[in-house]
Structure 1
Amino acid sequence: MSTVAWITARGLFGRRRVLLLLPLPILLIVLAVICDAAGVDAREWGAPVIVGLGLAVLLPVVALIVGTGVLGSEVDDGTIVHILTKPLPRRDIILAKLGVAVVASAVTAAVPLFVAGVLADSVRFGLALAVAAALGAVAYSALFLLLSLLTRRPVLLGLVYILVWEGLLGRFVSGTRVLSIEQYVITVGDRLSPATDILDPKVGLPVALVMAAIFAVGGTLFAVNRLRSFSMAGETS
């Protein structure tokens, strides 16, 4: 499994796709630094920068790029056949690739969110955002990895989930928030550092933790099962 993880990481960070991970984290840090240096009240810039850009855009988009990239390219070009011919349990393949996706997404999102949180409020708030981002990275990565095995257009469907379900419906239709990973992240971050008014959770902590676990575990199990069907049916796309 470690070999699969190493090959996945080398392939992911050796492609131009990794360059897509840099602009949003840099933009988030730059905006936070500028607002703090200008003396703008954190209650004015915290929500649009930390929530609007960091949690609603940076975290899911990075997870989408990485989550669909760790296996999606191999499905598209047919090289997945070579992986399936190896004497490795399909579970180990999925877990190795998911692990790479989670670590890459969590680090890329957590570091700039930590910096923004420290500038906006305190180290505790920065740590709360980092922990919440890591939780979100697990749930998002499992979902997007599964999409890369279910469809030829995982990025498109992932964007529909982020922009339409979470971004549009999640703000105006209260019932959809139960299936919004963004809301789970906001709730966890708020509970870990409740002193700030920047975060505005819309779901309870038990719902956030249970549903995040369902996304993570359910997505992983479905991905393992889907990869097994690739093996049995000899699919290459």
Structure 2
Amino acid sequence: MVRTIARLTLATLFGHRRGLLLFILPAVLFALCVLLALTVDDTSDFSAALLQQFGLAVIVPLVSLIAATGAIATEIDDGSIVYLLSKPIKRSAIILTKAAVAIGVILVLGAVPMVLSGLVLDHSDPGTAVAFGIGSLVAGIAYSAIFIALSVISGNAVTIGLFYALLWEGVIGQYVDGARVLSVQQWTLALIEKLSNAPHVESAVKLPIGLILLVAVTAVGLTLAITRLRTLTLSSAE
């Protein structure tokens, strides 16, 4: 049954128009990096900054939003979630399977493009590119938990997620001191800072705190989603 859930989730993700954004967003990042590499003599000076401010702060949250909400919100909205809820399968298995699919999509269309973009910008420092790729995957796991929880709790998950991804993570979480410590991006930067040698990568939180918060947010998000799905009856799903 888990395979069936995963297959249906992938079909839902890539069977709608917004699924195209899963390919367009990383393509935009990679194309920009290629363009800069071809037109600027030395891109190594700003490669880490670009990966952070555009890749990690914008592309990764948006890819995570589309993957996570598309994994379950669409089924709740159109009522097809009834098919799963009517089967003798644990609600936790439904949520965890959909989260795993979303994370797999983020790995392929979020983390891998970050590594490739980093290598294009500065091929002499593959460590930084790999560090941003790992950070993107870790951030994507936390984002997936947040957005899946939103999808089960609210019918406006995409709208709320857009405000969160673009406003909080993209702007407030980068530049407002007090808010930086409550940003998935900043928690992830603590890990990237540890793994890379890039001089301009700096997090507002220490690595142990960042890792604890990433794990806590992921656990809380998935737990909320499972708990809410257990109270979602067939009548309310319809």
Q: TM-score range by the shorter chain?
A: over 0.9
CA contact (8 A) 2:12 2:74 kept: no
1:214 counterpart letter in structure 2:
A
Change in CA separation of 1:192 and 1:46 when aligned onto 2, cut-off 3 Å: closer
CA contact (8 A) 1:118 1:124 kept: no
Q: Give the corresponding residue for 2:118.
A: 117
1:155 counterpart letter in structure 2:
V
Q: Distance in 2 between matches of 1:172 and 1:58?
A: 18
* TM-score for the superposition, normalised by structure 2: 0.92
Q: Distance in 1 between matches of 2:199 and 2:128?
A: 11
Please give the residue correspondences for 1:164-179 in structure 2 after superposition, counting only pairs within 5 Å: 164-179=167-182
Q: Distance in 1 between matches of 2:125 and 2:99?
A: 32
- The equivalent position to 2:213 in structure 1, one of 206, 211, 214, is 211
2:208 counterpart letter in structure 1:
P
Q: Distance in 2 between matches of 1:81 and 1:135?
A: 31
Aligned length: 234
Q: Give the corresponding residue for 2:157.
A: 154
1:197 counterpart letter in structure 2:
P
CA contact (8 A) 1:36 1:42 kept: no
Q: CA offsets per residue over residues 107-146 of structure 1, 9 Å max, x none?
A: 2111121012223252211111111111011000010011
Q: Distance in 2 between matches of 1:171 and 1:51?
A: 10
Q: Give the corresponding residue for 1:15.
A: 16
Q: Give the corresponding residue for 1:134.
A: 137
Q: Distance in 1 between matches of 2:34 and 2:200?
A: 17
Q: Which blocks of at least 5 consecutive residues in structure 1 are unaligned?
A: none
CA contact (8 A) 1:43 1:197 kept: no
Q: Distance in 1 between matches of 2:15 and 2:163?
A: 28
Q: Distance in 1 between matches of 2:118 and 2:200?
A: 10
Stretch moving more, 118-127 or 94-103: 118-127
In the TM superposition, residue 40 of structure 1 has moved relative to its aligned partner by 2.8
Stretch moving more, 200-209 or 13-22: 13-22
CA contact (8 A) 2:61 2:165 kept: yes
1:102 counterpart letter in structure 2:
I
- The equivalent position to 1:187 in structure 2, one of 190, 213, 225, is 190
CA contact (8 A) 2:12 2:70 kept: no
In the TM superposition, residue 175 of structure 1 has moved relative to its aligned partner by 2.5
Stretch moving more, 124-133 or 172-181: 172-181
CA contact (8 A) 1:5 1:100 kept: yes
CA contact (8 A) 2:99 2:148 kept: yes
Q: Give the corresponding residue for 1:79.
A: 80
2:89 match: secondary structure: coil
Supply the RMSD in Å over aligned alpha carbons: 1.7
In the TM superposition, residue 14 of structure 1 has moved relative to its aligned partner by 2.7
Q: Give the corresponding residue for 1:144.
A: 147
1:196 counterpart letter in structure 2:
A
In the TM superposition, residue 45 of structure 1 has moved relative to its aligned partner by 4.7
* TM-score for the superposition, normalised by structure 1: 0.92
In the TM superposition, residue 177 of structure 1 has moved relative to its aligned partner by 2.0
Write out the 4+ residue segments of structure 1 that deviate beyond 4 Å after TM superposition.
Answer: none
Percent of aligned positions that are identical: 35
2:237 match: secondary structure: coil
Q: Distance in 1 between matches of 2:190 and 2:113?
A: 19
Q: Give the corresponding residue for 2:103.
A: 102
Q: Give the corresponding residue for 2:37.
A: 36
